[in-house]
Chains A and B, each alone.
Chain A
Amino acid sequence: MTLTKADLIRKVHATHLNLAREEARNAVEAFLDILKSSLEDGNDILLSGFGKFNVRDKAARRGRNPQTGEELVLEPRRVVTFKPSGKLRERLNEK
């Protein structure tokens, strides 16, 4: 089953009984907004034990439309990448 934002809100609500459902929703939304704003400002996020979100600048490059084979120039762009922490990789692979 795919985990969604609604699941995160349920989890936060269930583990923090002092937070009303609406407050749990606000907490999860705020959590995600903080991450998004940081990345938007070009700042990486290091969440120890989980992983690192990086903001990387990609140079312009020549590409091709895979459908038509037509050549085109891809504009320089800024992208987000994720590198899992060693601990997360370990937990995924422990038997």
Chain B
Amino acid sequence: MNKSELIEALAREINVPLREADSITNTILESLTETLVANDGIEIRGFGSFVVKEYSSYQGRNPKSGKKIEVPPKKLPFFKVGKELRERVNSNKK
């Protein structure tokens, strides 16, 4: 599913025009993004949580050339799936 399919499904589900569902979706995604940009975590019960991990600079290698390079400090978001979703996804496999 992509973003426009999500927006269509949301519009159907809560019975609002597409434009409105689009704007709601963007509000939610923008809130999530701004929270992570501020280095804060996200905790959505039943769905999952996000944390931002900070990496300091380290020496790595270009995997193609094998050349040593200095990797600059960076931040990356990590997602941990919530209990309900983990169980729902896994039980459907059986």
Contact = CB atoms under 8 A, between A and B. Distances in A.
Does A associate with B in a complex? yes
B1 A46 contact: yes
B93 A57 contact: yes
Interface in B3-59: 3, 6, 9-10, 13-14, 16, 20, 23-25, 27-29, 31-33, 35-37, 40-48, 50, 52
A8 B45 CA distance: 12
Interface in B44-94: 44-48, 50, 52, 74-79, 81, 84-86, 88-90, 92-93
A60 interface: no
Interface of A: 1-5, 7-8, 11-12, 15-16, 23, 26-28, 30-36, 38-51, 53, 55, 57, 76-82, 84, 88-89, 91-93
